[in-house]
Amino acid sequence: MIWSAYWIWIAAALVLGILEMLAPGFILLGFAIGAGVIGTIFYVDGGLGGYLAGSLPMTLVVFAAVSLVSWIVMRRIFGKRQGQVKVWDTDINDP
């Protein structure tokens, strides 16, 4: 079962983290955190890791849930604050 290899998930987390630096917006960082958590679960190889190793759909559900929760937490922490207004100093059509 190739999806239960921890190093694949850790490598995916690193690649997604690098891509997040190239295209910021906290979108890929949530997926990177999710992949890192799944990789850590498989590395520890405890009860949850053994359960997830037997089922690809459950692995993907846990990955998606962790990614979504991490994205929501990052949006709350780093997102636009309440009442903050974006101010434009220049116009694209100005010479």
SS3 of 95, please? coil
Question: What tokens were used for 64?
Answer: 């998606």
Please write down the HEC assignment for all residues of 4-30: HCHHHHHHHHHHHHHHHHHCCCCHHHH
pTM above 0.95, yes or no: no
Q: What is the pLDDT of residues 9-29, one digit of tens each?
A: 999 999 999 999 998 777 899
The count of other CB atoms within 10 Å of the CB of residue 48 is: 13
16 conformational bin, left if phi > 0, alpha if psi -120 to 50, beta if neither: alpha
Position with higher pLDDT, 92 vs 43 = 43
Q: Which of 32-46, 61-75, 79-93 has the lowest mean pLDDT?
A: 79-93
Give the pLDDT of residue 66: 95
Question: What tokens were used for 76?
Answer: 């709350």
